[in-house]
Amino acid sequence: MNDQVIRRTTPTRRWKSWCGELQDLRRLISLIEQLAIQRKSEVLSSLAGDSEQRRWDERKQVLLVTLMDGVDSISGPAEDVLEELDRRTVDTVKISTDFPGINEKLSVTISKTERYTPFMADKGVKLEIESLSPAWAKQCLAQVSDEVDKSVPKWSFFRTARGLLVWMFLTYATTVGVAVLIEARHVTKGFSAAVFLTLVIACVTTGLTAGLLNWLFPPFELYGEGGSSSGSRRIGAVVVFIASIVAGILVNLVT
């Protein structure tokens, strides 16, 4: 085999949202550290007492955790860094290997959408792998993906392009439905004008709710032990609010 031939694999994967407890984050960090230690052992076993082996052997800490909170950041060993984590304000958590050289890399970045950035902005979870070992890269992709999936909320679909269209359609249909119920009782003339006004109101309402989706469906959230994501609670509140309006209108029409 030609020693000059270098093979490298760089798989990546993205998720639109991640919501979990601190112990879920710790479990993810622990898994990445185990995979990093495994790769370090594989690399050391393939080296033969040269300067590169010493560089790998001397690297005791193979994992770094970085927290970003606004303009502030802290990076270092996992346990030391997590002691300073404020789950209410943290913007980004990055878990990455600290290998010598640039040929080996395993990184998971969990990021919150910044204020005023577009709803479809590149936030959520990003997994990046770079390795000379396809077997290790595939193992990382499979195991890290399984672990991340455990904390991906069911409503993350609404952070995709198709989910956004579905949400806007549901909002539009709900607004039109409520308006039609009102008009059926109170509109006696000028029906075409009422229909036009209904469509305008529906379009405006749809646009406003689309602008609230970053608030309804956060791309990254750490909540307290035994808690639940704010996205689930907010969706429940919206559904109850809409249902109460519809119920009130129906009762008014019947009476």
User: pLDDT by residue for the chain (255 residues), tens digit each?
Assistant: 455 677 789 999 999 999 999 999 999 999 999 999 999 888 888 776 667 777 777 777 899 999 998 888 999 999 999 999 998 889 999 999 988 876 889 999 999 865 445 555 568 999 999 999 999 999 999 999 999 999 999 888 888 888 877 877 777 777 766 666 666 555 544 455 555 566 666 666 666 666 677 778 888 989 877 666 776 677 777 677 666 766 665 666 566
Q: Do 210 and 147 have their domain in common? A: no
Give the whole-angstrom CA distance, residue 71 versus residue 59. 29
Residue 5 within any structural domain of the chain: no
Q: What are residue 13's DSSP bridge partners? A: 127
Considering its fold, how many domains does the chain have in total? 2
Residue 50 within any structural domain of the chain: yes
Q: Do 136 and 169 have their domain in common? A: no
Q: Pick from 164, 172, 194: which is nearest to 182 by CA? A: 194
- Cβ(122)–Cβ(129) below 8 Å: no
Q: Is the dihedral of CA 157, 161, 167, 169 positive or negative?
A: negative
Give the whole-angstrom CA distance, residue 70 versus residue 51. 40
* Final residue before a domain boundary, out of 152, 179, 212: 152
Q: Do 23 and 137 have their domain in common? A: yes
Q: Quick one: pLDDT at residue 179?
A: 66
Query: What element of type H or E holds 129?
Result: strand 124-130
Q: Do 120 and 144 have their domain in common? A: yes
Q: Do 175 and 196 have their domain in common? A: yes
Residue 1 within any structural domain of the chain: no
> Model's pTM, two decimal places?
0.78
Q: Which amino acid is at 189?
A: K
Residue 92 within any structural domain of the chain: yes
Residue 34 within any structural domain of the chain: yes
Q: What is the CA radius of gyration of the chain?
A: 25
Tokens representing 111 are 């990021």
Q: Do 34 and 121 have their domain in common? A: yes
- Cβ(39)–Cβ(131) below 8 Å: yes
Domain of 195? Answer: 157-254
Q: Do 115 and 53 have their domain in common? A: yes
β-pairing, 124-130 vs 105-111, is: antiparallel
Give the whole-angstrom CA distance, residue 12 versus residue 130. 9
Give the whole-angstrom CA distance, residue 89 versus residue 68. 9
Residue 7 within any structural domain of the chain: no
Instruction: Identify the residue whose tokens are 């549901």.
Output: 170
Tokens representing 53 are 């082996």
Instruction: Identify the residue whose tokens are 């909320």.
Output: 153
Q: Do 41 and 85 have their domain in common? A: yes
Q: Do 232 and 198 have their domain in common? A: yes
Residue 16 within any structural domain of the chain: yes
Residue 6 within any structural domain of the chain: no
CA 122-230-221 angle, to 5 degrees, is 45
* Final residue before a domain boundary, out of 121, 152, 183: 152
Give the whole-angstrom CA distance, residue 18 versus residue 28. 12
Q: Do 84 and 209 have their domain in common? A: no
Give the whole-angstrom CA distance, residue 164 versus residue 141. 28
* Final residue before a domain boundary, out of 125, 152, 179: 152
Q: Do 130 and 206 have their domain in common? A: no
Q: Do 143 and 193 have their domain in common? A: no
With 0-12 / 13-18 / 19 or more C-beta atoms within 10 angstroms meaning exposed / middle / buried, residue 102 is exposed
Q: What are the contacts of 44-47 at 24+ separation with CB within 8 A?
A: none
